[in-house]
Amino acid sequence: MPVEARALVKRYGHILAVDHVDLTVHGGDIYGFLGPNGAGKTTAMRMLLGLLTADEGSVRLFGRDPHTDLPAALDGVAGFVETPNFYPFLTGRKNLELFAALDGGGAAARIDEALELVELRDRASDRVGGYSQGMKQRLGLAVSLIRDPRLLVLDEPTNGLDPAGIRDMRAIIKGLAERGMTIFLSSHQLAEMEEMCSRVAIIRSGNIVYEGALEDVRASTTPRYRLKTTDQARALELCVTQPGVADAAREGGDIVLTADEGTVIALSRRLVEGGLGIAALTLEGATLESLFFELTEGSAAPGAAAA
């Protein structure tokens, strides 16, 4: 198993930053790790890589403990947490050569391929001090790739990228997964995560409130409907008073509401009996974004879903 974390705890004085976190990353996953700022993502990722010592719990990377079995536990593991750092007065290629020299093996022979993959070959001779933030992110990915990892850990890999750059990074990550690499990444780009990931975990206030496959997302949230009638003001009144309907509100020219299928059927009958014509009633599929906000902005976090 590439990553197994069990009951991870990290305290900073009276602050419980990570509270008994369990994570399981299977081989071949593109695994998204999500949460609002301050939720404990970066702290948990640092513990996974042995950069922070857990106060309680255990971590295994391919069966090895990164806190007690270094450097062997990081064999086949690469990536970056927070912003990757380089020597700004050296070129991109020279930075890669230095990292390759530290790694040894065949790392140096993979530099050209990595530069090509992250689309930095034409800027490889430029000093990193002149790189944009997005270019530094891509160089950080190149540094990771020269290690030829089996597990790639990326913290906000699209940070600083424009829309085209985000699209290209998504294609790169998907391509790496198709080659058999396991990817563990965090990002605030929820639409991109939904596009890329096979499984996700959502952390809130140090707790995992969801872990599961993306295809289970729709089953984990209450359906949301969009309604248009011949009299929207009257329709909204009926929606608000219909048992089982939640969050009914005007959104543009439509009414949006949350309800299960049986409630929507009963509401439709009531609208028609009230003399209203239904122009449109459509189900909006649950998204990763809707699940994220439901689990991180509610008054109380639900328990974690099964892995």
Q: At what angle do helices 133-145 and 92-103 cross, to 10 degrees?
A: 30
- 184 and 55, same structural domain? yes
Tens-digit pLDDT string for the chain (307 aa): 999 999 999 999 999 999 999 999 999 999 999 999 889 999 999 999 999 999 999 999 999 999 888 888 999 999 988 878 999 999 999 999 999 998 888 899 999 999 999 999 999 999 999 999 889 989 999 999 999 999 999 998 888 888 888 888 888 999 999 999 999 999 888 888 888 899 999 999 999 998 988 777 666 666 789 999 999 999 999 999 999 999 999 998 999 999 988 999 999 999 999 999 999 999 876 678 777 887 888 654 444 444 4
207-213 β-sheet, strand order: 77-80, 151-155, 182-186, 30-34, 199-204, 207-213
Residue 92: inside a domain: yes
- 101 and 160, same structural domain? yes
Q: Which domain holds residue 260?
A: 222-285
- 92 and 231, same structural domain? no
| HEC secondary structure over 78-108 | EEECCCCCCCCCCEHHHHHHHHHHHHCCCCH
The CATH number of residue 110's host domain is 3.40.50.300
Cis ω before 84 (30° cut-off from 0): no
Residue 176: inside a domain: yes
- 280 and 135, same structural domain? no
Residue 69: inside a domain: yes
Residues 66 and 61: their CA atoms lie apart, in Å, by 7
Residue 294: inside a domain: no
The CATH number of residue 276's host domain is 3.30.70.100
- 94 and 23, same structural domain? yes
Residue 298: inside a domain: no
- 248 and 162, same structural domain? no
What is the tally of structural domains in the chain?
2
- 57 and 171, same structural domain? yes
Residue in this structure with the two tokens 């005007």, named with its chain if needed: 250
